[in-house]
Amino acid sequence: MQMFVGTGVALVTPFKKDFSVDTEALTKIVNFNIEGGVEYLVVLGTTAESATLSSAEKELVIETIKTANAGRLPLVLGVGGNNTAKVIEELQTRDFTGFSAILSVSPYYNKPTQEGIYQHFKAISQASPLPIILYNVPGRTASNMLPSTVVRLANECKNVIAIKEAAGDIVQAMKLIQHKPSDFLVISGDDMVTLPMVLAGGAGVISVIGEGFPKEFSEMVRFGLQRKINEAYQLHYQLADAIDMIFEQGNPAGIKEVFKSRGLAENTVRLPLVNVNEDLANRLEKFTKNLS
């Protein structure tokens, strides 16, 4: 699945000051990322604050992004949860026109065993009309999908094509890369370790920082894939402080400050998230203006 090699970005949902979805700003962000050189777009992931969106708002976000993208880049849709039956129902009833794959998070809160995680994704695999990118993010789910479980799914479920690996553990990522089937993609879900993962054999990233700085970050990933190590690390260290800052007080509050600094969108987030404080907002604005 070469379309998912490189940089994908987990798009935010911009809100107006009255907390309604800002479709004009979302269109600007889509165009900004396409013009910045990213390889694909991820819709309704965690960064989109999808947990706070109504069903109607999710449809509005989907249609806005599809219209703005106009078929230019592959689209990935977030479809996951901790109720297996509910995920399957969505897979069987949703119109996936315009999408190339789904991104499905490992079940959160329930804390299933590795066998439970395997059975969850096996059932999703059987129901899904699209290829599946697994998503392992223990910091949000409270359980870690081990490499052995991922490799088992990759070998036994042919439409499980990749994993967004966000455990923050480079050793675990390397074990995945070592033991995966040759055509299975290991995609970084941690911006700070993206380049080491790519150089170890990873396929790229699904990024947050990348949507705020698409030109620089996607070029870094391409340099890494081309084994132009010095050029890649020069860009990595250029962006490293910003990566720390955008997650310092929560995602997507940090990246939304970057979009505000760029004049692309308001910095509005929905409760229970709140805006970053004035100090961090000023630091992000300064970094963004200095890099522009």
Percent of the chain with pLDDT over 90: 99
Q: pLDDT at position 212, please?
A: 98
C-alpha dist (Å) from residue 14 to 2, 126, 159, 247: 29, 34, 32, 17
* 135 classed as catalytic: yes
Amino acid at residue number 213: F
Q: Is residue 132 helix, strand or coil?
A: strand
Answer yes or no: are the C-beta atoms of 270 and 51 closer than 8 Å: no
Q: What is the pLDDT of residues 179-222, one digit of tens each?
A: 999 999 999 999 999 999 999 999 999 999 999 999 999 999 99
Question: Is residue 266 domain-resident?
Answer: no
Q: What is the pLDDT of residues 32-59, one digit of tens each?
A: 999 999 999 999 999 999 999 999 999 9
Half-sphere exposure of 153 (CA within 13 A, CB side): 32
CA-nearest of 179, 201, 203, 177 to 189 is: 203
Answer yes or no: are the C-beta atoms of 198 and 156 closer than 8 Å: no
φ/ψ of residue 82, rounded to 5: -105, 10
Question: Is residue 148 domain-resident?
Answer: yes
Residue where the block lists tokens 């132009």: 228
Question: Is residue 144 domain-resident?
Answer: yes
Radius of gyration of the chain (CA): 18
Question: Is residue 249 domain-resident?
Answer: no
Does pLDDT of 282 surpass 90? Answer: yes
The alpha carbon dihedral of 97, 103, 107, 113 has a sign of positive
Q: Locate 231 and state its tokens.
A: 């050029």
d(CA 12, CA 47): 5
Residue where the block lists tokens 């070029």: 219
| Catalytic residue, candidates 28, 58, 135, 180 | 135
Q: What is the mean pLDDT of residues 122-134?
A: 98
Domain that holds residue 18: 2-232
Question: Is residue 60 domain-resident?
Answer: yes
| Catalytic residue, candidates 28, 58, 164, 256 | 164
Question: Is residue 191 domain-resident?
Answer: yes
Q: Mean of the per-residue pLDDT values for the chain?
A: 98
Does pLDDT of 278 surpass 90? Answer: yes
Question: Is residue 265 domain-resident?
Answer: no
d(CA 284, CA 210): 15
* 164 classed as catalytic: yes
Does pLDDT of 1 surpass 90? Answer: no
Q: What is the mean pLDDT of residues 4-9?
A: 98
Percent of the chain with pLDDT over 70: 100
Question: Is residue 277 domain-resident?
Answer: no
User: How many domains does one find in the chain?
Assistant: 1
d(CA 256, CA 252): 6
C-alpha dist (Å) from residue 219 to 35, 38, 180, 246, 269: 12, 9, 26, 19, 29
d(CA 8, CA 252): 16
d(CA 279, CA 283): 6
Does pLDDT of 72 surpass 80? Answer: yes
User: DSSP alpha helices (H): ranges in the chain?
Assistant: 23-36, 55-69, 84-93, 114-127, 138-141, 147-156, 170-179, 194-199, 209-212, 214-225, 229-248, 253-262, 278-291
Q: What is the pLDDT of residues 111-125, one digit of tens each?
A: 999 999 999 999 999
Split at pLDDT 50, 70, 90, the class of 292 is confident
Q: What is the mean pLDDT of residues 75-92?
A: 98
Q: pLDDT at position 272, please?
A: 98
CA-nearest of 133, 91, 129, 153 to 3 is: 133
Q: What is the mean pLDDT of residues 66-83?
A: 98
Domain holding 168: CATH number?
A: 3.20.20.70
Say what angle helices 55-69 and 23-36 make with each other, to 10 degrees: 40
d(CA 90, CA 83): 11
DSSP-assigned beta bridge partners for residue 43: 77
